[in-house]
Amino acid sequence: MRSKLFVPGSRPELFAKALAGGADALSLDLEDAVIPALKQEARERVGEFTASAAVREAAKLIIVRVNAPDSEHFEADVHAVVRRGLTLLNLPKIESTRALLDAIAVIERAETANEVNEPVRLLVNIETPLSLANAADIARAHPRVAGLQLGLADLFEAQGIARRDTANVHAAMFAVKMAAAQAGLFAIDGAYADLEDGDGFTAEAMMARRLGFAGKSCIHPRQVALANAAFAPTEAELAIARRIVEAARLAEHAGRGAFVLDGKMIDLPFLKRAQAMLAAVEQ
């Protein structure tokens, strides 16, 4: 997941264009990008798109960032978007294992209601001082958690921490990466707000790459190519991706949705990532 492009959930006219673009993953946003008056319409449009044939056929990871679990919108968001085309559900403002487990209970009810048989995997945001302190426990709290995502704007701005100071950014990245590593999860870097500063975006992305992050969030299509270049896969990574895709083909032929490859359980998020990596190289 070299690049993860945020797409406002209230802008359905952008969905197909984003799906056809160069980002490895789309992050359909129901949280910060959508004003309260448009929340209901946005979740309906996102739910329809997630369940569409176009999404099922695309070699893209489809992520939806819902509103915070303690918000009035969370349960309705989850019931609208937990569909078979969803790769990951992005949970913001998770600060404890208890909050995570309570959110999972809501997700389980939505899966039952929507007849989703495969458990939805989670991308959990680490974006507050408390969530950073509890990041390792959150990462290990449940097997649904697939990765951690760093949110520097929320983490830094409220504390008056300088974002342009690379030492500050490195410290936060390292802490999140180590928390993810303890649980064997991937880590995704957060967004970079200055759209005119391509050099700054690239420098931050390269730092994340050196720290073992899988990719970086983008808030505009112009950042996608920068992220893809910074996180370009090696030949070894491409070889593994090809093996995953081939093994998935054989597993599907045998009637299995998940399978073991080199001692590691492979399911839809891993397959989607491998497909996205290979599709990006072909393009």
Give the model's confidence band at 140: pLDDT under 50 very low, under 70 low, under 90 confident, else very high. Answer: very high
Q: What is the pLDDT of residues 230-253, one digit of tens each?
A: 998 888 989 999 999 999 999 999
In this structure, are 143 and 280 located in the same domain?
A: no
Residues ≥6 apart with Cβ < 8 Å to 193: 153, 219
Per the DSSP assignment, residues forming a β-bridge with 217 are 4
121-51-148 Cα angle (round to 5): 25
Mean pLDDT of 178-193: 95
281 pLDDT higher than 90:
no
164 burial (CB, 10 Å; 0-12 / 13-18 / 19+) is: exposed
Q: How much is the pLDDT for 272?
A: 85
Q: What is the domain range of residue 277?
A: 233-283
Same domain, 189 and 251: no
- 64 shares its domain with 177: yes
159 and 282 share a domain?
Answer: no
pLDDT tens string 121-134: 999 999 999 999 99
What are the pLDDT digits (tens) for 41-69? Answer: 999 999 999 999 999 888 889 999 999 99
Alpha carbon of residue 9 to chain centroid = 15
Q: Is the pLDDT of residue 283 over 70?
A: no
CB atoms under 10 Å from CB of 149, counted, come to: 28
- The verdict on 129 and 263 lying in the same domain is no
The confidence score (pLDDT) of residue 84 equals 86
The CATH number of whichever domain residue 201 belongs to comes to 3.20.20.60
Our count of domains for the chain comes to 2
Q: What is the DSSP string of 128-165?
A: SHHHHHTHHHHHHS-TTEEEEEE-HHHHHHTTT--TT-
pLDDT at 12 over 80: yes
Indicate if 44 and 118 belong to the same structural domain: yes
Tell whether 228 and 245 lie within a shared domain. no
Q: 97 and 111: one domain?
A: yes
CA atoms within a 13 Å half-sphere pointing along the CA-CB vector of 140: 8
Distance CA 30, CA 41 (A): 10
Question: Are 153 and 32 in the same domain?
Answer: yes
